[in-house]
Amino acid sequence: MRTLLKKPIIVLWIVLILIALILIAGKGLKYGVDFSGGTAFQIALEKPVSSDEINQTASVISRRLDWSGSKDAKVTPSGNQYISAQLAESDPAEINKIKETLLKQGKFEAVLDGEILFSGEDIKSIFKDPSRGYGLQEIDKQNDVFQWTLPFLLSPEGAQKFAKMTFHKCIPTGSGTSDSDYDCSRTYFFIDRPIDSIIIMDNELYFEEQDVPIVPELASQFIPIEDILNQLNTNYYTIDANSLSNEEITSLKEDYNTYKKAIVSPAISDSVKDKLEEIGYRVVVKEKSDTQPWIWDATGLKSIVSITPGIANMDVPTIDSPRFATFSQLTITGNANGEENSKKRLDDLLVILESGSLPIPIESISTESISPYLGKDFLNYSLLIGIVAILLVSIVLFIRYRYLKLALPIILTASSEIIILLGLLAFINFRLDLAAVAGILATIGTCADSSIIIVDELLKGKAHHKEIIEGHTQESLKSKIKHAFFIVFASASTVIATMLPIVIMGGGISKLIGFAVTILLGTLIGILIARPVYSQIARRILLADEQHATHKE
């Protein structure tokens, strides 16, 4: 045992097992929908695109899923034509709704004082070019503050409207020499502003959201909720969650002449909803998300951006003055802590201004849903298969060799191979699906195969007892091992030859790749670590036995 520990490969093996165990316990394994339940979307684009475009498309899809209120959507581009997305949802009706949002483009509106300042059609282009200022800039190294800038161009008519509407929309608060001396109006960026619906929220929620943060994730600056509601030009009600007063009913009936839809908060009781439907409204319940106030979700509000004094022509006395400036190129800037946050804010705004339009149209969406109840079963059974397989292999080995000392290390190295493989999969954030697990299970078989080749080659050495007495034991065993490894390497190479093309050319078909990746990694771990380790152990055991035998003679 002590001599074994001196071998670098054994030390490496033990270290790897420990690292793998730490990774599995600490980082944990990621499971695909097969095990976690939920739905996997395979989104095919109309044609293959560049890696930039596919990443951009993936980020738009991810934002759209966020907007539709899907929690924990994981969107990843795969290959150059596919995007896979994974959601925890598995209810078919919900999945159909999500598919619709994925296909539908939103309508962008920037609203000032309840009037449309500019909309998606007014934006002629968005400059994604750093030379025009687009991007991030570190402005405070010490506090890790980044400024993001998003320049875009309005159409001439759009620019004129913008200039007129924003004129003198700032109120001087100080000397009027710097931007901070003004208090300027805010513009509200909406996607699919519900202009055809009334908003109904319960008193409790209204009280909770009376003051709404301007940037939901920061919660540093607040505005009254009315500021947002006033941008809609529709009526809104704050009511008791369980009942409607007579006045409210009268007013609701009157509103029904103009608005046909009612967006209600989740706490509103069924009796109230029934009453609304009785009047004729189509009732839409908006769930509350964890990340932002309900009112943001209910109204489709995506961002609040302040006007700057320069844009508002504060230094010009009247609109007819020759100095009145019309800006067609506008920029939105802002600060955030940390590069990642700033990048996300910039990306979010970009997607909003583009109305969530996709650079490349979607050709088809394929889905695969598994109910969470079933997924859990699958995981337990996979584990059972693994344990039973290892047990059965042990029995076969024991029957064949009747020599526990040689068979046990096979089990040990096979198990260690699986552990290291799982650790590696945890490390690369690989998402395990059923096919991938089948690959891992199949690895147990290959591992046993190679170990058997090694044992048999080594045992052949036992027959030549003469050599041992003559002191050639070491060499003889070494050449046997070399022989065994030729076979092991050759067969591992055939596995690699057949699995590598799947991984490389699979074109991002995640289902195809899972199985191949686990087998490929399992094979590599096998020939690089588990097999050399086993041969060392087996050699030690045989040498010790033979020395023992020689002593006896």
Partner 1 sequence: MRPMAKLYDHNKKYNRLLFAPAIVLVLIIILVFIYPGIQKGIDLKGGYQIIVNFDSPKAYSSLEDKLINQFGLSEVHISETKAITSYGLLIEFAQPKELDAAKASKQKIDFENLSLDSTKTQSKEVLTALITKKYLSESDLIDIDQAQSKDEVKTILNDKLFLASNNFGSQINSLVQSELSLDDNSKIQSREVAATLGTDFVKTAVKVGITAFILLILVVLYFFREIMPSALIIFSALFDMGAGLVGMAIFGLPLSLVTIPALLMLIGYSVDTDILLTTRVLKDRTGDPINAANESIKTGLTMTFATIVTVLAMLVISYAAQMLVVYEIAIILAFGLIGDIIATWFFNAPTLLNYVLAKEKRKQGTN
Binders of partner 1 in range 27-66 (CB under 8 A): 34, 42, 44
- Binding residue for partner 1, selected from 279, 385, 412, 524, defined by CB under 8 A: 385
* Residue 202 backbone phi and psi in degrees, to 5: -75, 155
Distance CA 154, CA 121 (A): 9
Query: According to the 3-state scheme, what is the secondary structure of 43-99?
Result: EEECCCCCHHHHHHHHHHHHHHHHHCCCCCCEEEEECCCEEEEEECCCCHHHHHHHH
Q: Which two tokens stand for residue 510?
A: 């995640």
Least Cα distance to 347 among 79, 62, 539 occurs for 62
Q: Which is nearer to partner 1, 221 or 366 (CB)?
A: 366
Query: According to the 3-state scheme, what is the secondary structure of 489-545?
Result: HHHHHHHHHHHHHHHHHCCCCHHHHHHHHHHHHHHHHHHHHHHHHHHHHHHHHHHHH
Q: Which stretch binds partner 1 (CB under 8 A): 87-95, 203-211, 228-236, 311-319?
A: 87-95
Hey, which residues between 271 and 310 contact partner 1 (CB under 8 A)? none
CB 513, min distance to partner 1, A? 9
- Binding residue for partner 1, selected from 55, 80, 119, 491, defined by CB under 8 A: 491
CB 458, min distance to partner 1, A? 11
Distance CA 44, CA 82 (A): 5
- Binding to partner 1 by residue 84, rule CB under 8 A? no
Q: Which is nearer to partner 1, 330 or 414 (CB)?
A: 414
Distances (CA, A) of 69 to 62, 216, 284, 487: 11, 15, 13, 55
Distance CA 44, CA 425 (A): 26
- Binding to partner 1 by residue 260, rule CB under 8 A? no
- Binding to partner 1 by residue 86, rule CB under 8 A? no
CB 4, min distance to partner 1, A? 25
- Binding to partner 1 by residue 315, rule CB under 8 A? no
Residue type, 543: L
How many degrees, rounded to 5, is the angle at CA 353 between CA 64 and CA 294? 50
Residues 164-203, one symbol each (x = binds partner 1 by CB under 8 A, - = not), give ----------------------------------------
- Binding to partner 1 by residue 93, rule CB under 8 A? yes
- Binding residue for partner 1, selected from 284, 285, 404, 500, defined by CB under 8 A: 500
- Binding residue for partner 1, selected from 350, 519, 527, 541, defined by CB under 8 A: 519
- Binding to partner 1 by residue 452, rule CB under 8 A? yes
- Binding to partner 1 by residue 404, rule CB under 8 A? no
Distance CA 410, CA 196 (A): 70
- Binding residue for partner 1, selected from 205, 332, 336, 397, defined by CB under 8 A: 397
- Binding to partner 1 by residue 542, rule CB under 8 A? no
Size of the site for partner 1 (CB under 8 A): 84
- Binding to partner 1 by residue 406, rule CB under 8 A? no
What three-state secondary structure class fits 268?
A: coil
Outline where 256-363 has alpha helix (H). 270-279, 294-299, 339-353
Distance CA 176, CA 67 (A): 39
Least Cα distance to 401 among 542, 544, 547, 523 occurs for 542
- Binding to partner 1 by residue 231, rule CB under 8 A? no
Distance CA 548, CA 375 (A): 53
- Binding to partner 1 by residue 408, rule CB under 8 A? no
- Binding residue for partner 1, selected from 495, 525, 533, 542, defined by CB under 8 A: 495
Residues 349-368, one symbol each (x = binds partner 1 by CB under 8 A, - = not), give ------------x-xxxxxx
Hey, which residues between 411 and 440 contact partner 1 (CB under 8 A)? 433-435, 437-439
- Binding to partner 1 by residue 441, rule CB under 8 A? yes
- Binding to partner 1 by residue 467, rule CB under 8 A? no
Distance CA 230, CA 223 (A): 12
Measured in residues, the chain has a length of: 553
- Binding to partner 1 by residue 373, rule CB under 8 A? yes
Hey, which residues between 101 and 130 contact partner 1 (CB under 8 A)? 103-104
